[in-house]
Structure 1
Amino acid sequence: MAIQWKGVMPAVTTKFTDQDTLDLKMFEVNIKAQLEAGVHGIILGGTLGEASTLTDDEKSILISTTIDIVKGRVPVIMNIAEQTTKGAIKAADKAKKDGANGLMMLPPMRYKAGQKETTTYFKEVAKSTDLPIMIYNNPIDYKIEVTLDMFEELLELDNIQAVKESTRDISNVTRIKNRFGNRLKILSGVDTLALESLLMGANGWVAGLVDAFPAETVAIYELQKAGKIKEALNIYRWFLPLLELDINPKLVQNIKLAEVATGIGTENVRPPRLPLEGEERKRVLEIIENGIKTRPSLPNYKALH
Structure 2
Amino acid sequence: MNWQGVFPAVTTKFGADDQLDFELFDKNLQFQLEAGVDGIILGGTLGEASVLSLEEKGALVKFTVEKVAGRVPVVLNIAEGATRDAIQLAKLAEEWGAAGLMMLPPMRYKADDFETVEYFKAVANSTTLPIMIYNNPVDYKIEVTLDMFAALAECENIQAVKESTRDLTNVTRMRNRFGDRFKIMCGVDTIAMEQLVMGADGWVAGLVCAFPEETVAIYKLVKAGRYEEALSIYRWFMPLLELDIHPKLVQYIKLAESRVDLGSEAVRPPRLVLSGAERERILALIDGAIAIRPTLPDYKAIVL
SS at match of 2:184: strand
Shift of 1:68: 1.1
- Residue aligning to 1:175: 173
- The correspondence for 1:78, drawn from 62, 76, 79, is 76
Gaps of at least 5 residues in structure 1 are: none
Distance 2:18 2:180 in 1: 43
What is the identity, as a one-letter code, of the residue corresponding to 1:191? D
Q: Give deviations 1:236-278, integer Å, cap 9, x for gaps.
A: 0000000000100000000000001111100100011100111
Distance 1:234 1:63 in 2: 36
- Residue aligning to 1:193: 191
- Residue aligning to 1:124: 122
Matched, 1:10 2:8: yes
Distance 2:208 2:119 in 1: 31
Percent identity, please: 65
- 1:33-182 matches, cutoff 5 A: 33-182=31-180
- 1:21-36 matches, cutoff 5 A: 21-36=19-34
Shift of 1:279: 1.2
- Residue aligning to 2:235: 237
Over the residues paired in the alignment, what is the CA RMSD in angstroms?
0.4
- Residue aligning to 1:204: 202
- The correspondence for 1:298, drawn from 292, 296, 299, is 296
What is the identity, as a one-letter code, of the residue corresponding to 1:206? V
Q: What's the TM-score, normalizing by structure 1? A: 0.99
What is the identity, as a one-letter code, of the residue corresponding to 1:114? D
Q: Give deviations 1:31-90, integer Å, cap 9, x for gaps.
A: 000000000000000010001111111101100111111110000000000001111000
- 1:238-253 matches, cutoff 5 A: 238-253=236-251
What is the identity, as a one-letter code, of the residue corresponding to 1:181? G
Matched, 1:213 2:211: yes
Gaps of at least 5 residues in structure 2 are: none
SS at match of 1:128: coil
SS at match of 1:193: helix
Q: What's the TM-score, normalizing by structure 2? A: 0.99
Shift of 1:100: 0.4
What is the identity, as a one-letter code, of the residue corresponding to 2:194? E
What is the identity, as a one-letter code, of the residue corresponding to 1:20? D
Distance 1:41 1:145 in 2: 25
SS at match of 1:79: strand
What is the number of equivalent residue pairs in this alignment? 303
Distance 1:221 1:132 in 2: 23
4+ long deviations beyond 6 Å = none
- The correspondence for 1:288, drawn from 272, 286, 289, is 286
What is the identity, as a one-letter code, of the residue corresponding to 1:141? D
Q: Give deviations 1:123-174, integer Å, cap 9, x for gaps.
A: 0000000000000000000000000000001011100000000000000000
Distance 1:198 1:216 in 2: 15
Distance 2:210 2:15 in 1: 18
Distance 1:99 1:106 in 2: 20
- Residue aligning to 1:258: 256
